[in-house]
Amino acid sequence: MYSKHLLAKPFATPFALSPLVAVLGLSVHVAAQATVSAPTTSSIEEITVTGHRQPYRGDVPLKSLPQSTQVLSEDLLNQHQITDLQSALDLSASISRQNDLGGIQDTFAIRGFAGDETMPGGYLVNGFSAGRGYSGRRDISNVERIEIMKGPGSALYGRGEPGGTINLVTKKPQFETEGYLQASAGNFGSSRLEGDYTGALSENIAFRINGAFEDADGYRNTNPRKYALTPSLLFSLADATSLTYEMEAIKQQALFDRGIIVVDGVPEVPVTQFLGDPENGATEIEALGHQLVLQHTLDSGWHLSAALGYRDSTQKGLSADAELSDGRQLIYTDGTTLSRQRRSRDYAAEDLSGRFELSGTFDTGPFTHHLLVGADAYEFELDFNLGRWRVDWGSMDDSYAVNIFDPVYDGIRPDPAAQINQLQIQRTQGVYLQDQIDLSEQWKMLLGVRLDDFEQSIDDRLSGLRSTMSQTATSPRVGLVYEATSQLSLYVSYAEGFRPNTGSDFYGAAFEPEESRSYETGIKLETDDGRTSGTLALFQAEKSNVLTVDPANPGFSTALGQAESRGVELDIATQIAEGLNLVLSYAYVDAMTSTDMVNIDWGVEIPAGSPLLNIPEHTGSLSLTRDFEFRGAPASAALGIRYVDERLGETVDPDYILPAYTLANVSATYAPTSKVTLLADIDNLFDKRYYANSYHKLWTMPGAPRTYNVGVRYSF
């Protein structure tokens, strides 16, 4: 029945931005972005927002930047009928799924580095952090495009991983009235209602409101439900001045789900078997965000931008998690009874941030400078309350256990005792400068640097102790581009970055921040007719001061570990023929520890050269879309194929390997009238059994079996 390697093969606080230093420039050009896109039959996807510029960007063409960037357009996402962020990121081979924290968060690694596994994957929305706090599974009903900026972004964005940064650009209000309503339904009791409407309130004010509602039983009977509402306003204050306000309201509910278990192979239970406790009720996530952006173009052509963002989020619920300690787990004795912990979570987070930028272009002798200078700051407050009940070591207590083959969801439900109860406050202020210098028509040089001051306080309500820390970091960046022809360019770059480590060591001193170094070289191609673009990149990144167990002081951690990642990426988007588009993404990633370490969760030794968790060596994604006519009306079809190599499934047991898998997805649309479009899609077309991510052999998340949806869209 079992084979060991069957998985191996197949809260408001006062906050004031400090005075911002005098700044010299940043100019941002949305039109300069080369997007991975596909044709669409719906007019609303063709909206072009003029005059709204993204932060942390330069006014140079993409081919002139010494960086690999992949942009997933709204057209491409619509062709594949993708509605959530995690599925959208599967279109990029550079990104791999990570432990999804009970199935309620988007978590991912870029180029092998995932960051803090206890928090959601870090990403930005219009340049504002959305990865701090609790925002659940991101719906993309209000997303215009997804920008995947590979390599370290710390020289601009501040703290981050050396693998890259993801920025979601939202749909903006338009003065022309248009919109749509879309309804769909599918197997596993799923239903979805989505809408988008934009228009003018006056000659100078435009509005937009979009959102979605989803409800389902779920393929694991976790009853996921989510609401997303995102209204926005655009005020045209003058010909050169605009003010944009965006709000985001999110509510999500689902049973907390650690997935299935694996003991010496795969138990003969279906991937749909839920091993948690339905009587715990749903874990609920709520988030409310606001963004306010003022943009002004000076008479000289320089561009000024100021922005404020505020986000309030909470996560509350109970869960039944498989016990991971061998001495407390009955499954290892009888192969049937799964011992479980009972946990309670009551988390709240507030995130307030501000940003100021000024940008422009000027000449010094024969050189042209595209200068970007800015300053930003944030205060993040996290109220973290985690409770836990577990059986005693060596106990045969089965009062909160479950039979994995025939689960019965009744019996005693013990009350969790307080395990962690902390108030954490982080404050950061930073200034950044970047200059892209045109040395000649062919040679371009980029110089950049960012300075950060980081402060943190932690009040432990259980021990009564308070710890504080402060750190400073300098993140430089340098790059060189050679534009050999109008179609071909070569680049090389080097950058340093940092990410603060929270907490303190045995002596109460703050951990040194994680520090990273990244090297990248590549070739970019973009044909004059715009039909084909692509990037081939070679990269190497390393980071130090990764937390590991303090060998001299058991029970404490120290910043001694090191990890590295290197590999090759290829991204190509091409129009093969009129209406026929191909998008190909491939990545080879070799990510490993580069020093001997001790895992801080398990206390087990991890020798140098060990692979990092959930990181495949080879990943490939292919998208083929076709527009055509059917019975005289527009139609489209899309095929998506994704290959994910085998991956390490847990750090405790290096022999626990998740198997490689290949999935195929298909979708189609048909518009019998100018206003009505019929839609259908099938994910996991061949109903493959696969495993999306894992933290431990007892916390392994199976992928969804074949799922399908059909729907209709009414455009107006």
Judge whether 694 lies within some domain: yes
Minimum mean pLDDT range among 176-190, 251-265, 292-306, 594-608: 594-608
Q: What is the mean pLDDT of residues 549-568?
A: 76
User: Is it the case that residue 609 has pLDDT exceeding 50?
Assistant: yes
Q: How confident is the model at residue 499 (pLDDT cuts 50, 70, 90)?
A: confident
User: Is it the case that residue 675 has pLDDT exceeding 80?
Assistant: yes
Say whether 32 sits in a helix, a strand or coil. helix
Q: In the prediction, which pLDDT does 215 show? A: 97
Per-range mean pLDDT, top range of 83-87, 262-266, 463-467: 83-87
Percentage of residues in the chain with pLDDT exceeding 90?
A: 69
Q: In the prediction, which pLDDT does 30 show? A: 30
Residue 541 belongs to domain with CATH number = 2.40.170.20
Per-range mean pLDDT, top range of 13-22, 274-283, 391-400: 274-283
Minimum mean pLDDT range among 10-19, 401-410, 523-532, 606-615: 10-19
Residue of 79, 180, 142, 40 whose CA lies nearest to 715: 180
pLDDT top residue among 624 and 600: 624
Judge whether 286 lies within some domain: yes
Minimum mean pLDDT range among 535-539, 547-551, 593-597, 612-616: 547-551
Residue of 140, 308, 339, 102 whose CA lies nearest to 228: 140
User: Is it the case that residue 104 has pLDDT exceeding 70?
Assistant: yes
pLDDT top residue among 264 and 56: 56
Q: In the prediction, which pLDDT does 260 show? A: 93
Judge whether 599 lies within some domain: yes
pLDDT digits (tens, 9 = 90+) for 219-231: 999 999 999 999 9
Residue of 328, 320, 308, 391 whose CA lies nearest to 127: 308
User: Is it the case that residue 82 has pLDDT exceeding 70?
Assistant: yes
Q: What is the mean pLDDT of residues 551-564?
A: 71
Judge whether 287 lies within some domain: yes
pLDDT digits (tens, 9 = 90+) for 366-380: 999 999 999 999 999
Say whether 453 sits in a helix, a strand or coil. strand
Judge whether 15 lies within some domain: no
User: Is it the case that residue 73 has pLDDT exceeding 90?
Assistant: yes
User: Is it the case that residue 310 has pLDDT exceeding 70?
Assistant: yes
User: Is it the case that residue 12 has pLDDT exceeding 60?
Assistant: no
pLDDT top residue among 499 and 188: 188
CA 128/CA 311 separation, integer angstroms? 10
Burial of 199 (0-12, 13-18, 19+ CB in 10 A): middle
Q: In the prediction, which pLDDT does 29 show? A: 30
Tell me how far CA of residue 489 lies from CA of 329, 442, 683, in angstroms.
57, 9, 37
The one-letter amino acid code at 382 reads L
Q: In the prediction, which pLDDT does 135 show? A: 86
Judge whether 559 lies within some domain: yes
CA 382/CA 571 separation, integer angstroms? 38
Q: What is the mean pLDDT of residues 424-436?
A: 94
Minimum mean pLDDT range among 76-80, 135-139, 153-157, 468-472: 153-157
Q: What is the mean pLDDT of residues 266-289?
A: 90
User: Is it the case that residue 343 has pLDDT exceeding 90?
Assistant: yes
pLDDT top residue among 131 and 583: 583
Minimum mean pLDDT range among 196-210, 313-327, 549-563: 549-563
Tell me how far CA of residue 527 lies from CA of 65, 256, 438, in angstroms.
17, 48, 21
Is the sign of the CA dihedral 115, 117, 118, 123 positive or negative?
positive
The answer for 56, left when phi > 0, alpha when psi is -120 to 50, beta otherwise, is left
pLDDT digits (tens, 9 = 90+) for 641-654: 999 999 999 988 88
Relative to beta strand 337-338, strand 605-606 is unpaired
Judge whether 157 lies within some domain: yes
Strand locations in 108-190, DSSP E? 108-110, 124-125, 128-129, 143-150, 164-170, 178-186
Q: What is the mean pLDDT of residues 474-487?
A: 94
Judge whether 637 lies within some domain: yes
Average pLDDT of the chain is 87
**Do residues 257 and 695 lie in contact, with contact meaning Cβ atoms separated by under 8 Å?**
no
CA 235/CA 657 separation, integer angstroms? 54
User: Is it the case that residue 536 has pLDDT exceeding 80?
Assistant: yes
Number of domains in the chain: 1
Q: What is the mean pLDDT of residues 422-446?
A: 94
Report the first-to-last Cα separation within the chain, whole angstroms: 57
Owning domain of residue 600: 30-308+323-386+399-418+433-715
Q: How confident is the model at residue 32 (pLDDT cuts 50, 70, 90)?
A: very low
User: Is it the case that residue 285 has pLDDT exceeding 80?
Assistant: yes
